[in-house]
Structure 1
Amino acid sequence: MSKPMLLEEFTRLPPALTIDCVDGLAGAIDAVAARARPSHRFLRYGWFAAALRTYGGHARTLTVAREGEPVAALPIVAAGPAWAKLAAIPGCYWPFRSFPVREDAGVEAIEALLPRLARAARALRVGPVYDGDPGLELLKEAARNRGWAVLDRFVADSFLLDIAAERAEGTWPRNSTLKKNRFHEKHLGGHGELDWSFVHGAGWDEAAFEALAGIEEKSWIAARTDGSDAKFTARGHGGFWRAAAEDPVIARMLWTALLRVDGAPAAFSFDLNAGPLKYAIANSYDPRFAKHSPGKLLYYRNLVRAIEDGIAAVDWGAGDSGYKQVIGAAKGPAIRDWLFVRPGIDALAGKLLRGAWKRTGRAETGSAPAEANRVLDAEEGDRGDEERKGSGNQTEIHGALPGS
């Protein structure tokens, strides 16, 4: 009589994976984003839809489901000339361009997706995106396993303020900093009554966006540039943020600290709160008040409120490193731009062009461009205005990306 088999003697079959490609944006995007890393849960249907509405392009979405549940969603749009069959991820630069994957997704899910991606495009551009991005890391491993060429170019260093670590070492912000801020607030009050407020969630209406746009139109970005990189004006990226805020989940993540002087908008600090992480996306102020450091006063108030709301770290992105280091930020993950080239002759050509692609970025040992390092109020370390988050190369390559 044969012995019954023990449970551990059975071979466990891998979970069944289903690959799909839909015309347009797939509803599965939200299901994946909801179970992504908290820092990436803003990568929702509404995020990509806002990009398509604002910057143009027609999307297709490749999805991977494991036993019927979506674990990865990759929206793509055509990039460059049609004959080249290049694709890119739609979206916005702030805080980065990527795609959602569930926290428990494995490399096998992305490996299963690659043959379908190879039929859709010769190469896929991902980024600019941070080193360590979960979707990027799975895609890199899967692509190399399957014979794709993987090319990268350095864009910039990011800066990260670890509030939890700062507070563990002692009082943060320091009492001396708060005392100095109160001194500046007193003198700023000489211009009129000061009103400090916050906008998020259902508070995102046209009046709120117009307040931010009005500040930008008075700032250095309007005076010294063509204004195309402003975040909230019609000439800049105002259409994207208004469209993104139509998704109530994203709207709850979007956050602005706003200063009014005698009822008129004077300064703002605009962020995206993703779990315990705050992405600092844009700051600006009316230069009439520059002497009293309104930008610094506002972002310190904003950070104190962030602590109360459970924020443990602030991702300041790239550029303007001077004020970030003054406030306590340290160099974080590098930001890179990636090309994934399908196997065969295309991958061979990609490998031959690896050096040329890398040279279009910045040297990692180089310093940031002078404009990116400028400090508008050197005495106080006040960044004043950081509307061009990721200035330098991140701004320079902006026009080259599809859907920009």
Structure 2
Amino acid sequence: MTKPMLLAEFTRLPPATRAIVLDGLSGAIDLVAEAAPETHRFLRYQWFAAALAAYGGSARTILVERDGDPVIALPMIRFGPAPARLAAVPGCYWPFRSFPANADPGEGAFDALLDRLGQEVNALRVGPVCDGDPALEPLLAAARTKGWATLDRFVADSYILDMAAANADGGWPRNSTLRKNRFHEKHLGDHGALDWEFLQGAELAAGGFDALAAIEEKSWIAARTDGRDAKFTTTGHGAFWRAAASDPVLAKMLWAALLTVDGAPAAFSFDVNAGALKYAVANSYDPAFAKHSPGKLLYYRNLVRAMADGIDTVDWGAGDSGYKRVIGAAKGPAIRDWLLVRPGLPALFGRALRGMWERSGQRPAAPVVDEVSSEPV
């Protein structure tokens, strides 16, 4: 008679990890996003679907599974000449372009991703994305170990407002700031009745996006540019945000503060709320009210509301650092655009073009010098 084996005698096999390629966007993207760091849970199926609908492209998804559970999802679209076999992560530039990965995907997950990726493409573009991105950093580390060329170009510096620290250091906003804001609000009220609203995705989809677009159509972006960079107009990126808001989970993350004067849209601030972090995506105002700083008044109200809702940090992204520094933001991680080029001849060719790729980016801004102390700010 065979003696039964004791539980202690069984050898536990390591988790099985595999990477597969699926045509289109995989529905498992949402499962991975839900297990990603809270700051990256907006990278859902509909986020990428909205990008394809707004900007075009046909996607494939590399899905990495551990014991059958999805832990990394890498959507990608082809670009450039077909023989070059180039791909990019789709999405919107605001707040960044990355892909979802489980906060703990397990040993070997990114190795499996790269092995499958190298069979599909010669090079992958990821970005623009901030230094320290939780999906990109382990991907870069694995790529360098495996002999991939990793090329980056600087795009901009990000700016981060730590409201929790500022509030602990004597209160934020300062009482002097609040007094100035009340003064401006009083005179802005001479133009008509002021109404301050906060809208989430459902309200935005039901007419809120149209109000934001109406402000952009009166703003400097319409007067001084061709309008293609506007976030919510039909000639700008409005199709993306409207499509993204069709996902109820994403809709709850989308947030806008809106100021109306006598019922007419006058200023807005638009964000993506990701747990305790707020991504400040866009803000604008009607220049008819510029004398009274409606945009400033609105985003201070918006940030005070954010603190009350448990948000303690604001990622302002790139762009004009002047008003961001006045609020209290400091320079954060650099934003870069990355090319990962597979080993062999593609990597040799990529390394030869490193300088060209770097020069196609931006130059880091020179340090701002305080005229009184002559020290970099």
Evaluate the alpha carbon distance shift between residue 45 and residue 104 of structure 1 in structure 2; reply closer, same or farther with a 3 A threshold: same
Whether the 8 Å contact between 1:107 and 1:142 is mirrored in structure 2 is: no
- After superposition, give the CA deviation of every residue in 1:320-356 in whole Å (9 maximum; x if it has no partner): 0000001000000000000000111111111111122
Q: Distance in 1 between matches of 2:241 and 2:129?
A: 19
Evaluate the alpha carbon distance shift between residue 81 and residue 63 of structure 1 in structure 2; reply closer, same or farther with a 3 A threshold: same
Residue correspondence of structure 1 range 61-80 to structure 2 within 5 A: 61-80=61-80
Q: Say if 2:305 is the partner of 1:302.
A: no
- After superposition, give the CA deviation of every residue in 1:140-178 in whole Å (9 maximum; x if it has no partner): 011111111111111110000001111111111111111
What letter is aligned with 1:52? Answer: L
Q: Distance in 1 between matches of 2:261 and 2:222?
A: 21
Whether the 8 Å contact between 1:107 and 1:139 is mirrored in structure 2 is: no
Partner of 1:127: 127
- After superposition, give the CA deviation of every residue in 1:175-225 in whole Å (9 maximum; x if it has no partner): 111111000000000000000001004212241111000000000000000
For residue 5 of structure 1, report the CA deviation from its aligned partner: 11
- After superposition, give the CA deviation of every residue in 1:24-71 in whole Å (9 maximum; x if it has no partner): 000110000001000000000000000000000000000001111110
Q: Distance in 2 between matches of 1:365 and 1:283?
A: 23
For residue 18 of structure 1, report the CA deviation from its aligned partner: 2.1
For residue 20 of structure 1, report the CA deviation from its aligned partner: 1.3
Q: Distance in 2 between matches of 1:362 and 1:254?
A: 29
Q: Say if 2:28 is the partner of 1:44.
A: no
Q: Distance in 1 between matches of 2:144 and 2:322?
A: 38
Evaluate the alpha carbon distance shift between residue 107 and residue 133 of structure 1 in structure 2; reply closer, same or farther with a 3 A threshold: farther
Residue correspondence of structure 1 range 53-68 to structure 2 within 5 A: 53-68=53-68
For residue 361 of structure 1, report the CA deviation from its aligned partner: 1.3
Partner of 1:392: none
Q: Distance in 2 between matches of 1:5 and 1:138?
A: 39
Residue correspondence of structure 1 range 69-218 to structure 2 within 5 A: 69-106=69-106, 108-218=108-218
Q: TM-score, normalised by structure 1?
A: 0.87
Evaluate the alpha carbon distance shift between residue 365 and residue 267 of structure 1 in structure 2; reply closer, same or farther with a 3 A threshold: closer
Q: Distance in 1 between matches of 2:250 and 2:256?
A: 13
Unaligned runs of 5+ in 2: 369-377
Report sequence identity in percent. Answer: 70
Evaluate the alpha carbon distance shift between residue 106 and residue 140 of structure 1 in structure 2; reply closer, same or farther with a 3 A threshold: farther
Alignment coverage as a number of residue pairs:
364
Partner of 2:374: none
Q: Distance in 1 between matches of 2:11 and 2:149?
A: 34
Residue correspondence of structure 1 range 319-358 to structure 2 within 5 A: 319-358=319-358
For residue 111 of structure 1, report the CA deviation from its aligned partner: 0.6
Partner of 1:398: none
Secondary structure of the corresponding residue to residue 217 of structure 2: helix
Secondary structure of the corresponding residue to residue 180 of structure 1: helix
For residue 128 of structure 1, report the CA deviation from its aligned partner: 0.2
Secondary structure of the corresponding residue to residue 311 of structure 1: coil
Whether the 8 Å contact between 2:29 and 2:73 is mirrored in structure 1 is: yes
For residue 364 of structure 1, report the CA deviation from its aligned partner: 3.0
Whether the 8 Å contact between 2:66 and 2:106 is mirrored in structure 1 is: no
Partner of 1:389: none
Per mean C-alpha deviation after superposition, the further-off stretch among 39-48 and 348-357 is: 348-357
Whether the 8 Å contact between 1:245 and 1:254 is mirrored in structure 2 is: yes
For residue 358 of structure 1, report the CA deviation from its aligned partner: 1.1
Partner of 1:372: none
What letter is aligned with 1:332? Answer: G
Secondary structure of the corresponding residue to residue 188 of structure 1: helix
Q: Distance in 2 between matches of 1:57 and 1:161?
A: 35
Partner of 1:232: 232
Secondary structure of the corresponding residue to residue 165 of structure 1: helix
For residue 360 of structure 1, report the CA deviation from its aligned partner: 1.2
Evaluate the alpha carbon distance shift between residue 155 and residue 10 of structure 1 in structure 2; reply closer, same or farther with a 3 A threshold: farther
Q: Distance in 2 between matches of 1:15 and 1:131?
A: 30
Partner of 1:17: 17
What letter is aligned with 2:310? Answer: G
Whether the 8 Å contact between 1:130 and 1:335 is mirrored in structure 2 is: yes
Whether the 8 Å contact between 2:154 and 2:364 is mirrored in structure 1 is: yes
What letter is aligned with 2:125? Answer: R
Whether the 8 Å contact between 1:25 and 1:59 is mirrored in structure 2 is: yes
Q: Say if 2:309 is the partner of 1:272.
A: no
Partner of 1:30: 30
For residue 302 of structure 1, report the CA deviation from its aligned partner: 0.2
Secondary structure of the corresponding residue to residue 25 of structure 1: coil
Whether the 8 Å contact between 1:107 and 1:138 is mirrored in structure 2 is: no
Partner of 2:245: 245
Q: Distance in 2 between matches of 1:199 and 1:247?
A: 16
Q: Distance in 2 between matches of 1:149 and 1:107?
A: 22
Unaligned runs of 5+ in 1: 369-404
Root-mean-square deviation (CA, aligned residues, Å) is 1.7
